[in-house]
Amino acid sequence: MAELRALIVDWGGVLTGDIKTAVEVWAETESVDLKTYVEIMRDWFGAPFGAEASVNPIHALERGEISMPHFDVKLAAELTARTGHPYVAEGLLARMFDCFVHVPEMTALVRRARSTGLRTALLSNSWGNEYPRDAWEDVFDILVISGEIGMRKPEPRIFDHTLERLGLEAGECVFVDDLAANIDAAAALGFVGVLHRSYEETRSELEILFGRDLS
């Protein structure tokens, strides 16, 4: 087994709190019918490696093929069509991301990992949202944001791109994500995958994998 030399982490659901909780808060604030929203997401996501931009607005948004305002219009129109309730498109997604809660202990964990000599990377599927980049100067060696490079997880090419930028092989990298489909895709390419559930569980697993104290 190759020496593990890098830690790659997701943003939403890893460096932030649970996405489901954030969406629930947003839906209540916006008076969005949560069941309808979930149905729309299920219809649009399709298969993990499925439809392209013409029929999958989420994949298109994550690859940067459409903008956040464009997606806002699509989502508001779909919500209105399914519920009969008019929704204001402007700022719809931005207000959702306002409900995401930063988890400082996870960011600190990545910072400590980097301080021990590990390479660190963010690998995130963007929905056009802003990232707290100013706070990451001593956290990450590289940032890989899907909408900025036209690729998205779980596409193999975004993992290859990350490896190329790190200058490492898949077997030298641990990848942490909150979605099993992304972990499975990375593992198929040779990464060591860690499915994130909580800070304590992830820290403990990383300490075992890297063989160093990260507390």
Distance (Å, whole) CA 45 – CA 182: 14
Residue 46: CB atoms within 10 Å: 14
Residue with tokens 């980049």: 133
- Starting at the earlier edge strand, list the strands of the sheet with 6-9: 142-145, 119-124, 6-9, 173-177, 192-195
Give all strands (DSSP E) within 50-170, no chain letters.
119-124, 142-145
| 19-97, CATH topology level | DNA polymerase; domain 1 (1.10.150)
Which pLDDT belongs to residue 55? Answer: 59
Could you say which architecture CATH assigns to the domain 6-17+101-210? 3-Layer(aba) Sandwich (3.40)
Low-confidence residues in the chain, pLDDT < 70: 47-55
- 3-state SS assignment for residue 140: coil
H or E element, residue 117: none
Which pLDDT belongs to residue 49? Answer: 44
Residue type, position 54, single letter:
S
DSSP-assigned letter for residue 128: S
Residue with tokens 């600190």: 108
Q: Which residues contact 125 (CB under 8 A, 6 or more apart)?
A: 10, 12, 62, 146, 152, 153
Cβ(22)–Cβ(93) below 8 Å: no
DSSP-assigned letter for residue 69: H
What predicted TM-score, i.e. pTM, was given to this entire model? 0.93
Report CA 65 to chain centroid distance, whole Å: 17
The CA angle 173-157-147, to the nearest 5 degrees, is: 100
Distance (Å, whole) CA 104 – CA 109: 9
Indicate the angle between helix axes 68-83 and 34-45, nearest 10 degrees.
120
Q: Where are the domains of the chain?
A: 6-17+101-210, 19-97
Do the domains at 6-17+101-210 and 19-97 have one common CATH topology? no
